[in-house]
Amino acid sequence: MKLDVAGQSALLKLSQVDLEIEQVKNEISKAINSKELSEASAKLSETSGEVLTARTSFENLTMEARKADDNLHLVEERIARDSERLNNTSSPKDAQAMQSEIESLTRRKGELEEVELEVLDRLEKAEAELKQISTLREQLAAEVSVLQETIQAQVDELKTRGRKLTADRETLKSKVPAEILDKYTNLAAKQIAVGQVQNRACSACRMGLTASTIDTLSALAEDEIGSCPECLAMIVR
């Protein structure tokens, strides 16, 4: 199979460009499927769920505290009302009944005050927990955003490089005859398709070549393409 030196150079460069294109594709895939971003996103999602739980707990306790406060105010109003009636009554019997009710309401007030204090303590802790987990979520969201921007910039750069390589590939293909290009395409689908003799080995498969093989390849005409006996890659000058 014959190809002039310029064509052989283009063929070798085409092989190198195809390897670079494949590398770019792999790097894009690796960037898009970033393990770091995946882990950060999972942590953000988990933390978002914790924020929702903490907010629900805080809102429920807020309602509970409001209810406890309302109950306490109702008892305090009843005590105030009964105390006023007690001060204005002239009936010993009514006074005794109202005094007994006031004492019962006072005990109830003490119980409600304890309940309110307990709820307010829980509410304070729930609010602190909500603030803490919300702050963590904001930090994680910022980290994910930075990672996404960094990855997008990397992908954009790789795509730009890929477009240039693709354009170079088309230019190189135009310098290689169709018959040789077909053989190259078939080989490239399975392996590195083009190599040279470097340090007594095939640069495509890195296998050492015998002295007789090297002599045979060296004896080929300048415009003749050789073949590696190990990997069948096309050997060019």
pLDDT in tens, the chain (237 residues): 899 999 999 999 999 999 999 999 999 999 999 999 999 999 999 999 999 999 999 999 999 999 999 999 999 999 999 898 888 887 888 788 888 999 999 999 999 999 999 999 999 999 999 999 999 999 999 999 999 999 999 999 999 999 999 999 999 999 999 999 999 999 999 999 999 999 999 999 999 999 999 999 999 999 999 999 999 999 998
> Is residue 45 assigned to a domain?
yes
Q: What is the CATH number of the domain that holds 79?
A: 1.10.287.1490
Predicted pLDDT at 85: 86
Residue 4 CB contacts under 8 Å (≥ 6 apart), including other chains? 222, 223
End-to-end CA distance of the chain: 13
Residue 189 in 3-state DSSP? Answer: coil
> Is residue 50 assigned to a domain?
yes
Q: How far apart are CA 168 and CA 164, in angstroms?
A: 6
Same domain, 63 and 116: yes
Same domain, 67 and 98: yes
Domain extent, residue 192, equals 1-33+177-237
Predicted pLDDT at 162: 97
Predicted pLDDT at 94: 79
> Is residue 139 assigned to a domain?
yes
Same domain, 40 and 27: no
Same domain, 102 and 186: no
What is the number of structural domains in the chain?
2
Sheet holding 234-235, edge to edge: 194-195, 234-235, 226-227
